[in-house]
């Protein structure tokens, strides 16, 4: 069998924040790829504005570096399980993976998730223990943890014999020794290990073409772009080829452009062959998992498996009293077009129409997945409302099932009791408890996803902000009866329209936590705070102080109010109850009752009680 020894295809996988994108930056800098005058900004691969702000990778990216006589194609993947749909498909495109693990944190829930996907594809792993320069680094223990995880996930003998490199991606240093003093200012150990250990792609470029689409991109000039790997044969610009669709149909088209990857750029190439990662344009209707073949030799590759969505929410046209004030795109047609265009590139997303022309059910892989999309829409000038996120149930072998998540919590020991109790109430089962010896404890639970909706805020206040929670989808299990999770406290609901005043906020403060600042415009039915009790409470937050000409002895005391708690988009979505909406515009995020009028709301609640 012939091999293309000049190419290596490798994916970088890790838990979120363990340094994948920073490592790719260093590999780009230290290879023979970039011109000397090109200066790289930090995390150059994260090109989207939200990725830069949050410091996370949302979309998988590919780049290629030159090292000696080799071209190394590198795929940078997201660490969050919400974007797991991106990770799974990339495993098909590569022959090996770099598993990056933090030298202090060790293996985390997403490390497990991404590694499991890689081992299922029988890829060759290289382990990079990153952040070796941290004073708290414990490289030996971390390598043991990684080995245990490999064994637990059923790795074969070849995979268990993985090489380990110790690095500090931030400082651009690496070495094969676990002593931080041996770090050298070079990435050569990483490059050499990739060239040595990762198998070269098979060169079967004389056989008929097989190219499979693993990622999608969209460009206004050339339309949809299919990114993937050529598994067999070769392709040239101008070739007539067949696209074998997922539904079994076949479409013929002409290849108009082929792009190869080089550094941070996409360059047009005239032809490509087996082992190359390329982007193709020319077909309007291309989708992930479809195969491109010659017209006279239609032989489809196995369809890529993509995890189904586990969470859904209803997106609606904004119909609040303030609708249309701040947004550029407010109509049902505009919102529907935007949701449909998101489907061009995001394969883990589903959009279904409802009985109402102004509402759609949008399903995704988790709260983060959906909130990132909402945040992007909001920045583009859209105005909309969304309902509370709900988990998607499934029937497995005739049994109603719901998604369960694997939850890993790192917290100081003093908060351990309250965390265990809170998760117990949400029907989570503890799987493991590890004391790390420095007053920290790691708890692992299996919890119904329903019980975790709205838990983050409660968890952070319970652990005074010191706790760290990570969770990732594990499996579907039989449904647990009863209500889980959700908000314990009622809402403070405005009974009037107008502007919030300092005077009325002072009188409302003792009832709970206020969410609005003085001067904020409010309307009847808008949620202006959280009640300290479990029932909703109507409050007048717009009342001004009556002016009289009678002097008061305490006149010179100025009124001081507490700083209001301004909710972020994620916190707002977590706060929602079943009878509430979150109104999202480019300028504001407001919470409101679905029925704005107080007496109508009470009538609807009575009817619901009678029906139950």
Q: What fold characterizes domain 311-391? A: Alpha-Beta Plaits (3.30.70)
The pLDDT of 224-245, averaged and rounded, is: 86
Q: What are the residues whose beta carbons fall under 8 Å from the beta carbon of 416, sequence distance 6 or more?
A: 441, 443
Any alpha helices (H) in 286-415, and if so which ranges?
A: 332-345, 367-379
Sign of CA dihedral 91, 351, 227, 24: negative
Q: Where does CATH 3.40.50.300 sit in the chain?
A: 7-197
| pLDDT for res 553 | 56
Distance (Å) of CA 424 to CA 134, 320, 418, 430, 446: 35, 38, 10, 8, 11
Q: Where does CATH 2.40.30.10 sit in the chain?
A: 210-294
72-83, pLDDT tens digit by residue? Answer: 888 877 655 545
- Is the pLDDT at 97 greater than 50? The verdict is yes
Q: Where does CATH 3.30.70.870 sit in the chain?
A: 311-391
Q: Among 3.90.1150.10, 3.30.70.240, 1.10.10.60, 3.40.470.10, what is the CATH number of 394-478?
A: 3.30.70.240
Instruction: Write down the pTM of the prediction.
Output: 0.75
CATH number of 210-294: 2.40.30.10
Q: Quote the CA–CA distance of 131 and 174 in Å, as a whole number.
A: 10
The pLDDT of 268-295, averaged and rounded, is: 84
Of the CA atoms within 13 Å of residue 607, those in its CB half-sphere come to 6
Of residues 602 and 31, more confidently modeled: 602
Of the CA atoms within 13 Å of residue 292, those in its CB half-sphere come to 33
Which residues carry a binding-site annotation for GTP? 17-22, 130-133
| pLDDT for res 37 | 36
What are the phi and psi torsion angles at 150 (to 5°)?
-60, -45
Q: Quote the CA–CA distance of 359 and 612 in Å, as a whole number.
A: 26
**How is residue 496 written in tokens?**
């009037």
Q: Quote the CA–CA distance of 388 and 458 in Å, as a whole number.
A: 17
Q: How confident is the model at residue 50 (pLDDT cuts 50, 70, 90)?
A: very low
Q: Among 3.40.50.300, 3.90.1300.10, 1.10.10.10, 3.40.50.11540, what is the CATH number of 7-197?
A: 3.40.50.300
109-144, pLDDT tens digit by residue? Answer: 777 777 888 888 888 899 999 888 888 888 888 999
Q: Where does CATH 3.30.70.240 sit in the chain?
A: 394-478
């Amino acid at each position: 069998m012939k091999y293309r020894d000049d190419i290596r295809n490798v994916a970088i996988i890790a838990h979120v924040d363990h340094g994948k994108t920073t490592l790719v930056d260093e590999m780009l800098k230290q290879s023979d790829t970039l011109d000397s005058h090109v200066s790289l900004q930090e995390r150059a691969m994260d090109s989207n504005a939200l990725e830069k702000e949050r410091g996370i990778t949302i979309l998988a990216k590919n780049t290629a570096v030159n090292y000696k006589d080799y071209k190394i194609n590198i795929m940078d993947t997201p660490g969050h399980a919400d974007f797991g749909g991106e990770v799974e498909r990339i495993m098909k495109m590569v022959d090996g993976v770099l598993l990056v693990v933090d030298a202090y944190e060790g293996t985390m829930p997403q490390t497990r998730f991404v590694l499991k996907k890689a081992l299922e594809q029988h890829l060759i792993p290289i382990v990079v223990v990153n952040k070796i320069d941290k004073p708290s680094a414990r490289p030996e223990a971390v390598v043991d943890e990684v080995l245990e995880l490999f064994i637990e996930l059923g790795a074969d003998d070849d995979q268990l014999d993985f090489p380990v490199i110790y690095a500090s991606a931030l400082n651009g240093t690496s070495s094969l020794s676990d002593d931080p003093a041996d770090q050298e200012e070079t990435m050569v150990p990483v490059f050499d290990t990739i060239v040595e250990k990762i198998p070269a792609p098979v060169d079967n470029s004389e056989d008929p073409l097989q190219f499979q689409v693993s990622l999608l991109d969209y460009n206004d000039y050339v339309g949809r772009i299919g990114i993937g790997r050529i598994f067999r044969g070769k392709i040239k610009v101008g070739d007539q080829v067949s696209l074998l669709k997922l539904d079994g149909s076949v479409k013929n088209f002409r290849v108009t452009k082929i792009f190869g990857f080089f550094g941070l750029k996409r360059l047009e190439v005239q032809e490509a062959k087996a082992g190359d990662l390329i982007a193709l344009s020319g077909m309007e209707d291309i989708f992930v998992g479809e195969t491109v073949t010659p017209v006279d030799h239609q032989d489809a590759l196995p369809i890529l498996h993509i995890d189904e969505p586990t969470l859904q929410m209803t997106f609606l046209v904004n119909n609040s009293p303030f609708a249309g004030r701040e947004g550029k795109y407010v109509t049902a047609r505009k919102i529907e077009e935007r949701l449909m265009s998101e489907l061009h590139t995001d394969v883990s997303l589903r959009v279904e129409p409802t009985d109402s022309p102004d509402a759609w059910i949008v399903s995704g892989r988790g709260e983060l997945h959906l909130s990132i999309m909402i945040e992007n829409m909001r920045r583009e000038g859209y105005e909309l409302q969304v309902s509370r996120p709900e988990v998607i149930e499934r029937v497995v072998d005739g049994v109603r099932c719901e998604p369960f998540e694997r939850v890993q919590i790192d917290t100081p020991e003093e908060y351990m009791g309250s965390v265990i109790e809170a998760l117990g109430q949400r029907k989570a089962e503890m799987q493991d408890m590890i004391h790390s010896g420095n007053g920290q404890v790691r708890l692992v639970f299996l919890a119904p996803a329903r019980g975790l909706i709205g838990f983050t805020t409660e968890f952070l206040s319970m652990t005074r902000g010191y706790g760290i929670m990570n969770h990732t989808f594990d499996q579907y299990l039989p449904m647990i009866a009863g209500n889980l999770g959700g908000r314990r406290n009622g809402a403070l609901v405005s009974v009037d329209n107008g502007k919030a005043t300092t005077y009325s906020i002072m009188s409302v403060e003792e009832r709970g936590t206020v969410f609005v600042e003085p001067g904020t415009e409010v309307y009847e039915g808008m949620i202006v705070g959280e009640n300290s009790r479990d029932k909703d409470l109507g409050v007048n937050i717009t009342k001004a102080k009556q002016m009289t000409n009678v002097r008061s002895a305490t006149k010179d005391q100025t009124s001081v109010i507490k700083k209001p708690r301004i909710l972020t988009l994620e916190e707002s979505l977590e706060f929602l109850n079943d009878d509430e909406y979150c109104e999202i515009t480019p300028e504001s995020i407001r919470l409101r009752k679905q029925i704005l009028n107080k007496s109508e709301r009470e009538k609807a609640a009575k009817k619901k009680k009678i029906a139950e």
